[in-house]
Every structure is written in structure tokens, then in C-alpha cells.
Amino acid sequence: MVETARVGSVLVGAGHYQPERVMTNDEMATIVETSDEWIRQRTGIVTRRIAADDETVVDLAEAAARDALTSTGVPIAEIDLVIVASCTSDQRSPNTAGRVAERLGLHGPAIIDVNVACSGYVHALAVADQAIRAGAATTALVIGAEKLSAVTDWTDRTTCVLVADAGGAFILRRSDQPTVSDVTWGSVPELAGAVRIEPPVNKFAQEGKSVFKWAISEAEGLARKSVERAGYELSDIGIFVSHQANLRIIEPLARQLGLTSAIVATDITASGNTSAASIPMAYSKLARAGELPADTPALLFGFGGGFAYAGMVVRTPK
Ligand SMILES: CC(C)(COP(=O)(O)OP(=O)(O)OC[C@H]1O[C@@H](n2cnc3c(N)ncnc32)[C@H](O)[C@@H]1OP(=O)(O)O)[C@@H](O)C(=O)NCCC(=O)NCCS
């Protein structure tokens, strides 16, 4: 990549949080007519975590943020921007970012919520990066948090086996040697209603087959475009963190992109689909396990409700 002198941001580190309660596929089979075999074969999911009734999206977001702050050692006083990506916020106002800032005792940061469902995290990261580039922030806490169990129709086997609860967070900091790339983002109006949480039902619903077909035929080109716009070659990409929707999407996508020697995040198996939390959590878990080499380009690619997508490349910390 040709390095040009510009102010931008670097990824300092990440954190995540999952609720205590593990739900297995066998337990799911006691709730709806399904089986461990069907869920594993069609989705790759083995377990997922479900929040307690009184555990809120703010709780999940706060716990992920604390984990990121502790692991990076970034002082609370330095955070001047909090962005939360979520499509399951507890309330409309005050927003989740404001509540998290209050809970953490931050010193009056800008507080922004972003709702672009499963691609929301990459959108939030791009907004934070652009705020830093514009000089409107220096240190950003970017969180993805979802309590999808609260909007799950527990009688619908086509959706309840897929979704779960979690939080994930990155900390970005201003730098004159930036390692966070430009974003490629956009939407697909023909699929606008394909993934939804709409009144009067207000439960997660999707046209799974349409989304699956789109992912298999269109995601590759958009992920390629993301890498190109970020200023990299696909052969530079050492880590691939896609939205964790289905192992049968993640693995073919990695193959289509020729990322055969890259580290590919497959946290879907342990965690299910956690929408905006899935990318930062999958990244954070790999980092925590010591599996991510330093200063390595990681392709982050999200897609889902809207219907929207977003991709960017972030280098792991040096
Ligand atoms: C949802 C998804 C896993 C379904 O897998 P699929 O292989 O397309 O399965 P189908 O919907 O064709 O269903 C196949 C059969 O399994 C049945 N089935 C559906 N859910 C089931 C379950 N949990 N257990 C057992 N059987 C199930 C269906 O009723 C259907 O039965 P039929 O053939 O008798 O009609 C898949 O379409 C998918 O992952 N889509 C993309 C989701 C996504 O990325 N969403 C983005 C938003 S985050």
C-alpha cells in the first residue's frame, strides 16, 4: 500500500462481552421443531448466548466498552466520541451511546447511535474514522451491541435458531500514520424489506433465501471493491472478519475472494448471529486468543438489514 501523509485513525484495541447463559441447539429443539443436525448443517451454529431478562443493550454495550478500555489501557478522559451501532436499542431517547457514556463516567464525549442492523458496525467505524479525520474527535469508542433475543419470535424456527445477544467494541485514536481505510458502503433497495423488525409485530423476520442468494452472488464483488478502495490487494489481507450470519456464507465468501491463507473469523459457531456486535466481537476474540499477527490488514465486511453493506480494511495494532 502506498502510504500518503494524512491524518486519520489507528485501531488501538478491542473488547467484547457475552451474556452468561449458553443455549445449545439441543435446548433450542425443546422450544421449536428443529434439531442440532439441521442447525449445524444449514448455519454452522453450535451454541449461542442469550441475555437475562433484565440485561439491557446498554448493559451489553457497557460491558464490551469496559473490556476494550481495560485491555487497551486507554484513559477514560481521552474518549471524546462514543458511537453505538445497534438495531435493538432499549429506548429511542436518550440514545445508547449517551447512556454508556454516563455509566462509564466519560468526560462529555459526542454521543451517536447508528442503526444499520448487521452492517451497522462497519458504518459506525467509518463515521468514527471520518470524525477523527475531520478533527471533530481524537479518541473514539465504537461499540456494537444487540439484544436480539428481545425481538425474537420464539415460535418461528426459521429465525429463532439464528440470532443471539452480545457486545463488541474497538477504540480508534487519531494518528498521522493511519491504519484505518476508507469505507465502501451502500444499499440494495430491491431487498429493503428482506430483513426487518417492523410494527406491529416488532419481531425479527427475514427472507432468508433471498439474503442467502444475494450474499453468495453479490457480496464477493463488494468485498473486492472494499479492499481496492482501501488501497490494498486481496493478497495483502491476512484476516477476514465478515458479519457472522451463516457459516455457509462466510466460508464460500472467503474462498471466492481467494483468502485461502487468511485467518477467517467463524465465531458464528459459538455465538450465532449477533448483528452489529458480530464483527467487533469476532475480531476481539481472535485478538484475545493471540491469533492475530501485528500490523496485518483485516478486511471487515458487513451486510444485512436495510438492505445495506459496508466494508473497510483495518490493520491490527503494531
Ligand atoms: C435462514 C437460512 C439458514 C435458511 O436455510 P435454507 O437452507 O435456506 O433453508 P430453507 O429456508 O430453504 O428451509 C429448508 C427447510 O428447512 C425447514 N426449516 C427452516 N428452519 C428450520 C429449523 N430451524 N429446523 C428445522 N427445519 C427448518 C424449512 O421449513 C424448509 O422445509 P421444507 O423444505 O419442508 O419447506 C439461510 O437461508 C440463511 O442463512 N440466509 C441468510 C441469512 C442472513 O444472512 N441474514 C442476514 C441478516 S443478518
Question: Using one digit for the tens of pLDDT, what is the confidence trace for 18-57?
Answer: 999 999 999 999 999 999 999 999 999 999 999 999 999 9
Query: Does residue 13 fall inside a structural domain?
Result: yes
Tens digit of each residue's pLDDT (9 = 90 or more) over 104-143: 999 999 999 999 999 999 999 999 999 999 999 999 999 9
Q: Which helix (H) or strand (E) holds 89?
A: none
pLDDT at 1: 57
Confirm whether 243 is a catalytic residue: yes
Same domain as 214, residue 146:
no
Same domain as 239, residue 164:
no
| Ligand 1: centre distance to CA 43 (Å) | 9
pLDDT at 2: 53
pLDDT at 5: 64
Single pTM value for the model: 0.97
Query: Does residue 2 fall inside a structural domain?
Result: no
Binding pocket residue ranges, ligand 1, CB within 6 Å: 34, 38, 42-43, 118, 157-158, 161, 195, 206, 208-209, 211-212, 215, 245-246, 249, 273, 304
Same domain as 98, residue 37:
yes
Q: 120 in helix, strand or coil?
A: helix
Out of 33, 37, 212, give the residue to mutate to test ligand 1, the one with the largest number of ligand atoms within 8 Å of its CB: 212
Same domain as 151, residue 109:
yes
Q: Which atom number of ligand 1 is nearest to the Cα of residue 158?
A: 20
Query: Does residue 3 fall inside a structural domain?
Result: no
| Ligand 1: centre distance to CA 90 (Å) | 28
Same domain as 106, residue 27:
yes
Please report, for residues 115, 125, 127, 317, the alpha-carbon distance to residue 8 in angstroms, rounded to integers and kept in the order given: 24, 12, 12, 14
Query: Does residue 86 fall inside a structural domain?
Result: yes
CATH, residue 307: 3.40.47.10
Q: Which atom number of ligand 1 is nearest to the Cα of residue 195?
A: 47
At which residue does the C-alpha cell 471520518 appear? 130
Closest CA to 180 of 258, 105, 122: 122
Same domain as 42, residue 165:
yes
Q: Which helix (H) or strand (E) holds 127?
A: helix 120-133
Number of domains making up the chain: 2
Same domain as 158, residue 28:
yes
Same domain as 108, residue 53:
yes
At which residue does the C-alpha cell 447511535 appear? 113
Same domain as 292, residue 208:
yes
Same domain as 168, residue 46:
yes
Query: Does residue 1 fall inside a structural domain?
Result: no
Same domain as 265, residue 132:
no
Same domain as 170, residue 105:
yes
Write out the residue range of the structural domain in which residue 289 sits: 184-315
Q: How far apart are CA 120 and CA 239, in angstroms?
A: 20
